């Protein structure tokens, strides 16, 4: 990238911000994988599969229009608000582990948020197209701005668009934490998991939450780098 903003190619020291973000994301991802692997070997006392637990939780919450489906891949579990489908990965759907029930309950947490019109989820959903637009167009705009003999308005617009992507990552945090809180509360109160198992589920969901924190931190670091490189009027030689 050095060539784009200076006349001499040299190591860009702000690149360290990107590296920190990547390292944080890798650490979080390793943590969630090892934690999940550990507790996916702990069979729950109830013997319920992830899918059975999900259906029970949804029905207890008065939700009957959300279907539970199986999806391939690992940790691909998600709730699709558009089609009202809760998709559980292979290792969750038919698995009776504490980890599987925890992940299934977390996704139910999202379905309940949707059902109850939880504000942060609505904001997050509304931000999806804006964030995609921002993430796609920010760098091209900045580069065009730089190539047009440093057009600061264009560059600033690129940075502002990038902010939309950062905002999306930030709004994701309360949505994810809230879904996990709901999951833990439900599992602790409905007898699906024993107390010890609830504590284990908390560890799995806590590790999963770290990946969102790392992603948000990484995007803030990227924004910081953009501001350092392109934020002010050009005063370099």
Q: Active-site positions?
A: 107
Beta bridge partners of 227: none
> In the complex, what is the shortest distance from the CB of residue 236 to Zn ion, in angstroms, rounded to a whole number?
43
- For the four alpha carbons of 46, 50, 51 and 53, in that order, the dihedral sign comes to positive
Q: Which string of x and - marks every residue 142-181 that binds Zn ion (by CB under 5 A)? A: ----------------------------------x--x--
Best CA proximity match to 234, nearest among 104, 146, 122, 168:
146
Positions of E strands within the chain: 67-71, 78-80, 85-89
| Shortest reach from residue 174's CB to Zn ion, in Å | 11
Site for Zn ion in 174-233 (CB under 5 A): 176, 179
Q: Which is nearer to Zn ion, 104 or 155 (CB)?
A: 104
* Cβ neighbours of residue 146 closer than 8 Å, sequence gap 6 or more: 4, 5, 155, 230
Smallest distance from Zn ion to CB 123, Å: 15
> Exposure of 213 by Cβ count < 10 A (0-12 exposed, 13-18 middle, 19+ buried)?
middle
# residues near Zn ion by CB under 5 A: 2
Minimum Å gap between C-beta 230 and Zn ion is 33
Q: Which is nearer to Zn ion, 179 or 186 (CB)?
A: 179
- Of 55 and 107, which has the nearer Cβ to Zn ion? 107
Q: Which is nearer to Zn ion, 105 or 193 (CB)?
A: 105
Residue 28 CA to chain centroid, in angstroms? Answer: 12
- SS3 category, 97: strand
Using the structure block, give the residue that is written with the tokens 């947490």. Answer: 109
The residues binding Zn ion (CB under 5 A) are: 176, 179
């Amino acid at each position: 990238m050095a060539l784009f903003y200076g006349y001499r190619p040299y190591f860009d020291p702000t690149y360290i911000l990107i590296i920190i973000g990547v390292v944080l994301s890798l650490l979080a991802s390793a943590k969630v994988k090892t934690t999940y692997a550990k507790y996916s070997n702990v069979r729950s006392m109830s013997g319920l599969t992830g899918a059975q637990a999900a259906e029970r939780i949804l029905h207890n919450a008065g939700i009957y229009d959300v279907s539970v489906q199986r999806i391939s891949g690992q940790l691909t579990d998600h709730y699709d608000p558009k089609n009202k489908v809760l998709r559980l990965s292979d290792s969750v759907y038919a698995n009776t582990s504490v980890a599987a029930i925890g992940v299934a309950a977390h996704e139910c947490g999202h379905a309940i948020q949707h059902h109850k019109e939880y504000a942060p989820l609505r904001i997050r959903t509304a931000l999806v197209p804006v964030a995609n637009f921002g993430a796609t167009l920010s760098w091209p705009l900045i580069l065009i701005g730089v190539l047009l003999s440093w057009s600061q308005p264009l560059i600033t617009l690129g940075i502002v668009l990038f902010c939309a992507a950062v905002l999306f990552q930030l709004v994701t945090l309360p949505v994810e934490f809230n879904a996990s809180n709901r999951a833990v509360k439900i599992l602790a109160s409905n007898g699906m998991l024993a107390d010890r198992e609830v504590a284990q589920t908390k560890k799995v969901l806590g590790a999963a939450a770290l990946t969102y924190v790392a992603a948000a931190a990484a995007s803030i670091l990227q924004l910081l780098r953009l501001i350092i490189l392109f934020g002010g009027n050009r005063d370099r030689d």
